[in-house]
């Protein structure tokens, strides 16, 4: 039998423990500073085997010892609970072949799609003698099958002062789905989806709605929405593997329908959640309205565990798509290439003002814009909106290729034109949003910032890349009803910045590359877009003044709500409200709170 990358904890039949008071923080000193830390496997406070067995009984045998998904290529896994023989040739071949497959990775108990924040200490290899350790993964995983399993995990983590990770799909650029030595609760099995043609909850909205479990991904949701009679659609991210009810809506969420309906958080009607103190609650405009507001864009894994969310649905419409390419098959003239990028981005305000969404990838001698989406538009109408771009290309002699296609529905375009992303990448991620004013006044400076992103330093020439998204979240939702940064209501281009990290990089190399991302690449973006902001799901969590850059004027209210709903800090995700005093010390391992 192929190795399954995890061990089932030995089962003892006990009644779940009734805990008294939480385990206190563990005192530690790091670089002359005093901290109180979460409890880890080498601490005296770590729960004993009987306690873990009791937890396993409570969750009906769904507590697993986590072994990284690349372990089958190694002779043994040296974990914090002991060494385990792991080599399996067939499983290794599968892991090697599927390492970049997002769906394969999502289905693993606690894997991260982008691997930098796992510490890459157990990747597939052709050398079985190579070491394999846990890296920054959690020690145990609860593959929750019911709400009571999630509650058991939250209660156990709170009472034993364990670091807790809520992991849905692992679609995560900045390490919020992983955490050294943690207890992980996997919510991916919550796959219920229920549609209604008339929402009967509180508030004025009475249109169509869908209630979906925490584990439902974008493509699954859109597929079932398309199957309704008549077909409907839902605001999701562009990537099919994103968990809609998890980090997407809690961070805000943008996608192809953003020009028409705002951010995903703007379409949320109600949440069912589990709080930090283990209470099941509903949060909507009438019940727990402060928590409802915070869950709509206030930060992932910050206020409660989302069990399900109800979102608005919308009628399907005909949709047109266009692609544009400028790359090395057209020209090797670097100056001419960047003139093409400048001309494309110059018209981005006009593009988003017409209700258009566009996704593009930019790196050295490669601008790949696919797709440009016009919901409710014909191909001729979409091409007419883009004609000024094409005219300027012609006037400047910029070579390119383009094409267009019409679809009966947005879903048909989504399946046809959006390209799957890949897993297994080790990279640091930042990003910035440029407003209408930024583009109007500073387009040349923005293009110079793009150049800096792709080549931030002489020794990193052509190493960086950028993923852009043209949309105006305020076009039809000019006043936010969510906790997202108000500056998004003037958005034109939200661009992700990425910098690959070589496998086996030392700690000093990692710190250096983080400095490049924060203080060279992202700094250039911030300077070129002084009216913009950052996006918590796809941004640099280590940037200065992250509170304002992620949430702007909403942050003080979010901090107050966080202190109300999670005063002990049961939940933690880097650079989310209320984490100012928390820090991961000792080379990316222990989560601690500064005590002096």
Give me the DSSP letters along 82-122: EEEE---HHHHHHHHHHTT-HHHHHTSSS--SS-GGGTS-S
Answer whether residue 274 shows pLDDT above 50.
Answer: yes
The candidate with the shortest Cα–Cα distance to 166, out of 329, 46, 305, 313, is: 305
**pLDDT band at residue 94 under the 50/70/90 scheme:** very high
Answer whether residue 6 shows pLDDT above 60.
Answer: no
In our burial notation (b when 16+ CB lie closer than 10 A, e otherwise), range 234-269 reads bbbbbbbbbbbbbbbbbbbbbbbbbbbbbbbbbbbb
What global pTM score does this model have? Answer: 0.94
Domain ranges of the chain: 6-186, 193-315, 319-552
Q: Which CATH class is domain 319-552?
A: alpha beta
**pLDDT per residue over 497-514, tens digit each?**
999 999 999 999 999 999
Percent of the chain with pLDDT over 70: 96
Q: What is the largest CA-CA distance in the chain?
A: 77
| Residue 539: DSSP 8-state | S
**pLDDT band at residue 553 under the 50/70/90 scheme:** very high
The Cα 58–Cα 367 span in angstroms is 52
Report, as an integer, the average pLDDT of 243-248.
93
Percent of the chain with pLDDT over 90: 95
CATH of 193-315, one of 3.90.1170.20, 3.30.930.10, 3.40.630.30, 3.30.465.10: 3.30.465.10
The Cα 453–Cα 528 span in angstroms is 12
Whether 591 and 37 have beta carbons less than 8 Å apart is answered as yes
Whether 137 and 180 have beta carbons less than 8 Å apart is answered as yes
Mean pLDDT of the chain: 95
Q: Mean pLDDT lowest for which of 46-55, 147-156, 170-179, 390-399?
A: 170-179
pLDDT given for residue 21 in this prediction: 59
Q: Which residues are within 8 A (CB) of 424 and not within 5 positions of it... i.e. 6 or more apart?
A: 99, 100, 105, 113, 114, 115
The Cα 510–Cα 373 span in angstroms is 38
pLDDT given for residue 7 in this prediction: 35
pLDDT given for residue 20 in this prediction: 43
Answer whether residue 352 shows pLDDT above 90.
Answer: yes
pLDDT given for residue 13 in this prediction: 33
Beta pairing partners, 82:
79
Whether 119 and 588 have beta carbons less than 8 Å apart is answered as yes
Answer whether residue 52 shows pLDDT above 90.
Answer: yes
**pLDDT band at residue 445 under the 50/70/90 scheme:** very high
The Cα 138–Cα 84 span in angstroms is 16
The Cα 376–Cα 319 span in angstroms is 5
Whole-Å CA distances, 369 to 50, 74, 343, 402, 470 = 56, 40, 13, 9, 10
Is beta strand 183-186 parallel, antiparallel or unpaired with respect to 140-143? parallel
The Cα 19–Cα 345 span in angstroms is 58
CB atoms within 10 A of CB 559: 17
pLDDT given for residue 421 in this prediction: 87
Helices (H), 276-418: 289-295, 334-346, 348-353, 379-396, 410-417
Whole-Å CA distances, 561 to 277, 300, 545, 580 = 15, 14, 19, 15
**pLDDT per residue over 450-505, tens digit each?**
999 999 999 999 999 999 999 999 999 999 999 999 999 999 999 999 999 999 99
pLDDT given for residue 23 in this prediction: 79
Q: Mean pLDDT lowest for which of 4-18, 99-113, 220-234, 347-361?
A: 4-18
**pLDDT band at residue 141 under the 50/70/90 scheme:** very high
The Cα 567–Cα 473 span in angstroms is 32
């Amino acid at each position: 039998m192929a190795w399954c990358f995890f061990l089932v904890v030995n089962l003892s039949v006990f009644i779940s423990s009734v805990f008294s008071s939480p385990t206190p923080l563990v005192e530690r000193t790091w670089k002359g500073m005093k901290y109180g830390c979460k409890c880890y496997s080498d601490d005296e406070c770590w729960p004993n085997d009987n306690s873990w067995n009791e937890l396993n009984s409570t969750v009906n045998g769904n507590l697993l010892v986590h072994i990284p998904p690349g372990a089958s290529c190694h002779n043994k896994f040296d974990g914090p609970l002991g060494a385990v023989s792991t080599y399996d040739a067939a499983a290794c071949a599968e892991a090697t072949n599927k390492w970049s497959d997002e769906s394969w990775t999502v289905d693993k108990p606690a894997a991260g799609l982008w691997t930098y924040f796992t510490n890459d200490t157990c990747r597939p290899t052709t050398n079985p003698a190579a070491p394999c350790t846990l890296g920054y993964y959690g020690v145990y995983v609860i593959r929750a099958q019911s709400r009571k399993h999630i509650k058991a995990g939250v209660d156990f983590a709170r009472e034993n002062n364990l670091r807790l990770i809520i992991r849905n799909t692992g679609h995560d650029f900045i390490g919020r789905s992983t955490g050294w030595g943690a207890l992980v609760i996997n919510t991916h099995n919550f796959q219920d989806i229920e549609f209604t043609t008339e929402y009967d909850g509180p508030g004025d909205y009475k249109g169509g709605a869908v209630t979906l479990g925490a584990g439902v991904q974008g493509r699954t949701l859109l597929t079932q929405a398309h199957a309704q009679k008549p077909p409907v659609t839902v605001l999701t991210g562009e990537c099919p593997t994103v968990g809609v009810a998890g980090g997407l809506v809690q961070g805000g969420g943008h996608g192809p329908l953003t020009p028409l309906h705002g951010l995903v958080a703007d379409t949320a009607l109600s949440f069912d959640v589990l709080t930090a103190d283990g209470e099941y609650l509903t949060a909507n405009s009438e019940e727990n309205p402060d928590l409802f507001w915070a869950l709509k864009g206030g930060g992932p894994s910050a206020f409660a565990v989302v069990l399900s969310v109800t979102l608005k649905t919308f009628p399907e419409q005909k949709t047109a798509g266009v692609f544009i390419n400028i790359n090395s098959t057209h020209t090797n003239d670097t100056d001419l290439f960047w003139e093409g990028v400048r001309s494309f981005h110059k018209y981005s305000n006009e593009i988003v003002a017409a209700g258009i969404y566009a996704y593009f990838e930019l790196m050295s001698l490669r601008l790949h814009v696919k797709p440009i989406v016009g919901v409710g538009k014909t191909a001729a109408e979409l091409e007419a909106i883009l004609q000024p771009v094409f005219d300027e290309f012609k006037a400047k002699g910029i070579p390119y290729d383009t094409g267009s296609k019409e679809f009966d529905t947005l879903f048909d375009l989504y399946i046809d034109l959006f390209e799957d992303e890949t897993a297994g990448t080790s990279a640091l991620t930042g990003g910035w949003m440029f407003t209408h004013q930024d583009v109007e006044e500073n387009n040349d400076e923005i293009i110079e910032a793009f150049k800096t992103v792709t080549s931030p330093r002489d020794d990193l020439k052509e190493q960086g890349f950028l993923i852009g998204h043209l949309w105006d979240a305020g076009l039809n939702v000019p006043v936010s009803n969510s906790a997202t940064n108000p500056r998004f209501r003037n958005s034109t281009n939200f661009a992700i910045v990425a910098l690959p990290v070589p496998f086996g990089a030392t700690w000093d190399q990692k710190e250096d590359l983080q400095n490049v991302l924060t203080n060279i690449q992202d700094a250039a973006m911030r300077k070129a877009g002084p009216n913009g902001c950052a996006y918590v799901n796809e941004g640099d969590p280590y940037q200065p003044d992250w509170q304002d850059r992620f949430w702007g004027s909403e942050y003080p209210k979010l901090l107050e709500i966080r202190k109300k709903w999670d005063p002990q800090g049961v939940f933690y995700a880097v650079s989310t409200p209320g984490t100012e005093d928390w820090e991961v010390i000792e080379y990316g391992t222990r989560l601690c709170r500064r005590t002096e």
